[in-house]
Chain A
Amino acid sequence: DTEVTQTPKHLVMGMTNKKSLKCEQHMGHRAMYWYKQKAKKPPELMFVYSYEKLSINESVPSRFSPECPNSSLLNLHLHALQPEDSALYLCASSQDMGTGVGNQPQHFGDGTRLSIL
């Protein structure tokens, strides 16, 4: 079982809907990430939170809005998405953002498969 839990596993929504993806980890990690992955492609980084503050936004459209209510939770709020936003959305966490040398793998959840109608 993965130590990063994502809900829901599947989501179908219309372009005018508002929905949220949720991610939870209890490993005491202080960095959390959102990735978008299209079929047969590697994951693409969207956002990085470090110590509950947004550190990195990889030029993601504003229809995606991340939120980190506490050190264990990460949300991704969705509004007015486009069909091309259909993808697997992966959440990950690591001990921190990775200062210094060392093995700090990112641990991923199962992902949410999002389909936009």
Chain B
Amino acid sequence: AQKITQTQPGMFVQEKEAVTLDCTYDTSDPSYGLFWYKQPSSGEMIFLIYQGSYDQQNATEGRYSLNFQKARKSANLVISASQLGDSAMYFCAMRELNSGGSNYKLTFGKGTLLTVNP
């Protein structure tokens, strides 16, 4: 079974509008971290935002916020006021912190390609 599921292969949004990118995860580890990365066509993976499993509040970083629903095991990324430069592939990733020898490992979803239209 996939540990990270991103169900939207592609998304389109109009410039200046908000967009939500979905991510669900599967783990039995009570301690885990969730990350979102942005990868433009140039190739660099850019870290956007982090949510820890024990964090009480949803993470926010500028125009990025994470809608964390622990009971539903979802960690959706919300981008407000989309810009043309937001067009990129977005990956959700998880690190399970009690997985013994594998707690270094980031498990990535398959990604969502976001296109921002002018």
Contacts and interface: CB of A to CB of B under 8 A. Distances in A.
A112 to B, nearest CB: 9
B108 A43 contact: yes
B109 A42 contact: yes
B52 A41 contact: no
Interface stretch (B14-22, B38-46, B74-82): B38-46
Contact of A42 (B33, B50, B108): B108
Contacts, number: 61
State the majority secondary structure of interface residues on B: loop
B47 interface: yes
Contact of B104 (A40, A98, A105): A98
B70 interface: no
Interface string A1-25: 0100000000000000000000000
Given A42-B111, A103-B52, A97 B104 contact: yes
Contact of A101 (B43, B47, B97): B97
Interface in B86-118: 89, 91, 95, 97, 103-106, 108-111
Interface residues of B, number: 25
B54 A101 contact: yes
A25 to B, nearest CB: 14
22 contacts: A40-B89, A42-B91, A42-B109, A43-B45, A98-B97, A98-B103, A98-B104, A101-B31, A101-B52, A101-B54, A101-B97, A102-B33, A103-B50, A103-B52, A105-B35, A105-B50, A106-B47, A106-B106, A108-B44, A108-B46, A110-B43, A111-B44
Interface of B: 31, 33, 35, 37, 42-47, 50, 52, 54, 89, 91, 95, 97, 103-106, 108-111
A104 B31 CA distance: 13
Contacts of B33: 101-104
A103 B111 CA distance: 21
A105 B106 CA distance: 9
Interface bin, chain A: 20 to 34
Most chain A beta carbons < 10 A, residue from B42, B106, B110, B111: B106
Contacts of A29: none
A104 B97 CA distance: 11
